[in-house]
Structure 1
C-alpha cells in the first residue's frame, strides 16, 4: 500500500509544480484586484510619452490611480517594444486598451482614459567628440610610451544617437598606427555594459623627435664630428627613413656616401672606421699550440674589428684569410 501511494505522489508532483508556477504568476494581480474595486482603479494614458529602455511599460505612458500594491503591479505591464533611441512610435489605441484589460487580475470595468493618438519616444544620448578623443589619446599614449605626439586629424564614424545609460568605450585589439602615421581604431560602444555599436576612428598622428642634419656638404669616407652636424625636431612619419638622432650614433663613424648641406644623417649612410685600410702593411699572426709565427702582409681590403679579410703574405705571395684582431694585426684562423 505504501509503495503504491509513493508512486502515486511521484506521478502527481510535476502537475503540482506547474500549478504552483501558474499561481505564483497570477496571484499578485489577482490579489491586487481583490483589494481594489474597479471603481477605485483609473488609468490615464498620456498623448506623448518618453521611455528609457527597449520595452514599453504601462507605468511609463499612464498615470495609475489604484491601491499601492495594484499600482506597482500595473506599472510593470509590458506593452511592446520601444522605438530606436531618439525615434517616435505611435501606439494603437484599441490594441492598447485591449492589452491592458486582458492582463490577469485587472479589475473588470476599470476606467481607461486614452487620447485619440498615443506617441512614444525613446530617450537617447549623444557621445561628444571629446569623449572619443580622450579614449584615442589614452590609446596613443600606450603606443608611443612617453614620446610627444600630435593628433593632427581625427574622424569618428559614429551614428551619434544611443540609448540612455552609462557609456563605456573599448578599443579593439586590431587598432594601430602604421609607418606613415595613419591611425585606425576599432571601438566598441557599450551602454550599461551592453554593446550597442562598433565604430571606426581614423586620423593622422605626428611624432616629433630630434634628428641630426649636415652643417655643410660632406664627402664619402669623411669622419663625422659633432661640429659637422646640427639637431632639429621633425615628424618621424614624414621622414620614412632610418635617421640618426644622437651624437653617440655618429661617434667613430665615417660616411658611406656624399651628403649635401641640411641633409638628414641616416644610419644606413654610416659605417665604422676600419682598423685596417686596403693596401696597408700589416702583421700577419699564426698560432699553433705554443708556436707563434709573425710575418708581414698587405691588406687586400678594408678591415673592421672581428671581421675576416683577405691579405697577401709578402714572403710567399699567397692570399690568405684572417681575422682582424686590432689595429694593423690580422690572425690566421685554421
Structure 2
C-alpha cells in the first residue's frame, strides 16, 4: 500500500501575524489517507499553529516592554488540519488579550488562496514573575507598608511592570486600604491614600464661584482621603454639601 507524500514551506511574516504555507512540490512529509489526500492534500499541523501563536505572543510582550521572566504553557491545542490545495495562510488573534495567570484563547483564521476557509482555537496560560512586596504578617487597614510587615521576593504577578510594587518606594505614601493577610502579594488595588479626615472633624469649606473664593466653617460627616469626595455640613447654614478633600483641614465644595 503506497501513501502520497507532500511537504510545505512555512514563511513567517513577523510584522503582521501571518503564517503562509506555500506548495513547493513532492518531498518528505506526513503520510495520510490517499482518498482524503485527493481532496485535502495540504496538512497544517498543530505544531505549526503553535509556533505561530507563540511567536506572536512573544512579539506582543516585547511590544509592551515586558522583559520579565515568564512561562507560556499550551493548555489545549488546535487539531492538525487537512486542507484543500492552494496557498494557505494562517492569521492568529488574541480576542481576550494576554492576561497574566489566566487561560486565554489564540484564534486562528485559515485562508485558502485569500478566502476564509475555517477557524481553530488553542488555549494558553502565561505566567510572569517579578520580585514584589509580600506581606510577612497580617496587615490591618490603614497600616503603613514597611520592612516591619513586608518583604521583597519573586512571585507570579498579574500587573504590568509600571504597576508592580517591586520596592517600598513604589508604595508612595499609601497604606493598606483593607485587611491584607500574611503571605499575600501586595498590589496597588490593596492600597489607598491614608485617611486625613475623620467624621466629626472641623474643616474649612472652600467654594470657587466664578473666580470669587468663598470660605466657611464646616464639619466632616464621613471620613475622607485626599482627592476623595465626602459629605460635609456648613456650620452657619446647616446645609449638607459634597466636597473634595484637599488636605486634612480643607474641603473644596462641589457645585
- Matching of residues 33-52 of structure 1 within 5 Å: none
**Contact in 1 for aligned 2:177/2:191 (Cα 8 Å):** yes
Q: 1:131 to 1:174 in 2, by over 3 A?
A: closer
1:155 to 2:77 alignment: yes
Aligned to 2:122: 202
Matched residue of 1:156: which SS?
coil
Q: CA deviation at 1:202?
A: 1.6
Q: Deviations over 1:114-152 (max 9, x none)?
A: xxxxxxx89966555543322112332344435344133
In structure 1, runs of 5+ residues without a counterpart are: 1-47, 53-84, 90-120
TM-score by length of structure 1 reads: 0.48
Q: Deviations over 1:268-289 (max 9, x none)?
A: 4322223323232333456778
Please point out which of 100, 103, 106 is paired with 1:181.
Answer: 103
Please point out which of 119, 135, 140 is paired with 1:219.
Answer: 140
Please point out which of 13, 23, 34 is paired with 1:87.
Answer: 34
Q: 1:298 to 1:174 in 2, by over 3 A?
A: closer
Matched residue of 2:224: which SS?
coil
Please point out which of 53, 65, 73 is paired with 1:136.
Answer: 53
1:232 to 2:154 alignment: yes
Aligned to 2:29: none
Aligned to 2:203: 282
Aligned to 1:245: 164
RMSD of aligned C-alpha atoms?
4.5
Aligned to 1:5: none
1:327 to 2:244 alignment: no
Q: How many residues in Structure 1 have an aligned counterpart in Structure 2?
A: 213
- How far apart are the structure 2 equivalents of 1:287 and 1:177? 44
1:171 to 2:171 alignment: no
Choose between structure 1 and 2: higher helix proportion: 1
- How far apart are the structure 2 equivalents of 1:188 and 1:262? 46
Matched residue of 1:275: which SS?
strand
Per chain length, whose mean CA-contact separation is higher, i.e. which structure has more relative contact order (CA < 8 Å, sep 6+)? 2
**Which segment drifts farther, 204-213 or 293-302?**
293-302
Q: Deviations over 1:35-76 (max 9, x none)?
A: xxxxxxxxxxxxx99799xxxxxxxxxxxxxxxxxxxxxxxx
**Contact in 1 for aligned 2:203/2:217 (Cα 8 Å):** yes
Q: Deviations over 1:53-107 (max 9, x none)?
A: xxxxxxxxxxxxxxxxxxxxxxxxxxxxxxxx75169xxxxxxxxxxxxxxxxxx
Q: CA deviation at 1:226?
A: 5.9
- How far apart are the structure 1 equivalents of 2:207 and 2:121? 66
Q: Deviations over 1:272-330 (max 9, x none)?
A: 2233232323334567789877565432222333444333455x482543443333123
Aligned to 2:20: none
Q: CA deviation at 1:217?
A: 0.9
Q: CA deviation at 1:263?
A: 1.6
- How far apart are the structure 1 equivalents of 2:147 and 2:95? 40
- How far apart are the structure 1 equivalents of 2:115 and 2:202? 76
Aligned to 1:299: 220
